[in-house]
Amino acid sequence: MRTYTVLAILIFCNFLATANNLRFGLASIHENRITVSIAWDNSWNLTQTGGSSDAVWLFAKGKLANGVWEHVNFSSNLFDHLYNEPLTIEAAGDGKGVFICPANQGAFSVPFTNISIKVSSNLSSYVELKVYGIEMVYIPQGAFYLGDWASISSLANNQGNPFLVSSEEAISSGTLTLANPNNYFDPPALSGTIPVSYPKGYSPFYVMKYEVSQLQYVDFLNTLTYTQQQNRTWRSPNLSSGTFAMVNPYQTDSLYRNSIVIATSGVQGVSSAVYAVNGNANQNFNEESDAPYRAANFFSWADLAAYLDWAALRPITEMEFEKACRGTNSSVAGEFAWGTPYITNANTAIYDGTVFETVSEVSSGESGLANHGTIIASQGWGLRGPLRTGFAANQSSTRISAGASFYGVMEMSGNVWEMVIAANGDGLNFSRIFGDGILDSNGNANESGWSNSSTASGIILRGGAWGSIISEVGTWRDLAISDRYYSHVKPSTRRNSLGGRGGR
């Protein structure tokens, strides 16, 4: 009889002070079913009143006898899966995973609850199985505005005012234009009609509640071949244990708060490397003080696209980005993700590197908290790297003090740049194609229309990062949700401020 190792992996876990505390109990296999117990705090479901809800995207990977990991396919028939209150399941039509959703309306914590997933893959072919969960937010259908009158190169109607998106119908050329109040910057023009197939944010979708964390990326790397790992990290997988894997090899003295290391060296043609986090740079890996939940940085577009394809998610568009931030509210000039144009810099880390990592600064009034830089030389450049995802949220925080979006999505302003699909150029080739859980032999996303992995044509940067400068409304203001100042920059190479998230 074949035996199985079943591991429940928390791709993102918020602990205690960070409020949500997603956790798995024991997982088991019986015939063609995976049974696992799941719990999380501060869940919400406001869908009956037109609001959002949270959820967990659950998927699995199986390791074959030859050491290769493959995506485990689930049944696409909802009635094949078993669940108990207060949870329900939303089956994915492509069978690449399921959404675990709160069944009851309101806000509450989900106690450990058993779910049983019917699998269409052959579980007997795996020697090891890993189950993953990613926290998501459901963004409901509805009209919303693009642009805010003031941000550089922001999307606008043909009078330069915010543009109302009221359907997923095609948007004709000239109806959607750019507002550009700053005379020294000439943004790339919008190009042609935006087709029906391009996701505009009106229809419902899911988005990751948090930016990809460094531990999430480690879990991803640990299912890749040596060659795939070589292309998804900056340092070669055969380097010695303890080598920081994602940082620029010419700047190893300045890690920019990236904690991903090689734990066990790989051997080309023989074995993959094993990766871990080691934020405190000691001899022990994957400790709670090793910054596992900091946002992943040093990404290129190819890195983010590969992660999303592997997780059977998809990129989001810049229109969906604004919808997730602004919701149904009217636009506010220069506004950040929490709905006001006022900001407090999260600049002084406390409990640094731990699962409780936060900052000593607090928001006041209408000033939201975000990790960004400063133009004043005497004040330095802030933290020079990302903070833990969800660092400002706690059980008593408000939207403003947590720096949260209209729907409760975290760090849409600041921390790391979000790479999203542009509403012009090659971005118009994108449609709602989900990742299939499979990468090509080089470790690249294999989905058509996702933008070229090498050139990143069709990708735009949104939301600002830890080194972004905040000037007055109408000027350099990267964290403003409508600002498209860097619409000409294509993230084809890794940068210490690039990260992101996906959706479905």
Q: How far apart are CA 356 and CA 238, in angstroms?
A: 33
In this predicted structure, what is the pLDDT of residue 377?
Answer: 53
Residue 138: both structure tokens together = 């459901």
For each of the chain's 504 residues, which pLDDT tens digit applies? 223 345 544 433 332 223 478 899 988 999 999 999 999 998 999 999 989 999 999 999 999 999 999 999 999 999 999 999 999 999 999 999 999 999 999 999 999 999 999 999 999 999 999 999 999 999 999 999 999 999 999 999 999 999 999 999 999 988 999 998 877 677 888 988 999 999 999 999 999 999 999 999 999 999 999 999 999 999 999 999 999 999 988 876 678 999 999 999 999 999 999 999 999 999 899 999 999 999 999 999 999 999 999 999 999 999 999 999 999 999 999 999 999 999 999 989 999 999 999 999 999 999 999 999 865 555 556 788 999 999 999 888 999 999 999 999 999 999 999 999 999 999 999 999 999 999 999 999 999 899 999 999 999 999 999 999 888 998 889 999 999 999 999 999 999 999 999 999
**Closest of 227, 209, 231, 32 to residue 136, by C-alpha:** 209
Q: How far apart are CA 415 and CA 376, in angstroms?
A: 19
Q: Answer yes or no: are the C-beta atoms of 404 and 389 closer than 8 Å.
A: no
For residue 126, give the H/E element and its range.
strand 126-139
In this predicted structure, what is the pLDDT of residue 374?
Answer: 66
Residue 207: both structure tokens together = 């988005």
Domain ranges of the chain: 5-138, 141-213+293-504
Q: Between 214-221 and 301-310, two packed helices, what is the crossing angle to 10 degrees? A: 70
Q: How far apart are CA 135 and CA 95, in angstroms?
A: 18
In this predicted structure, what is the pLDDT of residue 1?
Answer: 28
Place of tokens 């609850």: 113
Q: Answer yes or no: are the C-beta atoms of 13 and 356 closer than 8 Å.
A: no
Residues in a beta bridge with 56: 100, 135
CATH T-level assignment (fold) for domain 5-138: Immunoglobulin-like (2.60.40)
Q: Is the peptide bond before 86 cis (omega within 30 degrees of 0)?
A: yes
In this predicted structure, what is the pLDDT of residue 181?
Answer: 80
Phi–psi pair at 499, nearest 5 degrees? -150, -135
Cβ burial 384-393 (10 Å sphere, 16+ → b, else e): ebbbbbbbbb
Q: Where are the alpha helices (DSSP H) in 222-334?
A: 226-232, 301-310, 318-326
Neighbours of 208 (CB within 10 A): 27
pTM value is 0.95
Residue 321: both structure tokens together = 């980005």
Q: Answer yes or no: are the C-beta atoms of 32 and 139 closer than 8 Å.
A: no
Beta strands in 353-466 (DSSP E): 358-359, 367-370, 417-421, 459-462
Place of tokens 């990404």: 299
One-letter amino acid at 211 equals E
Q: How far apart are CA 249 and CA 257, in angstroms?
A: 15
DSSP line for 143-193: -EEE--SSSTTEEEETTSSPEEE-SSS-B-BTTEEEE---TT--PPPP-SP
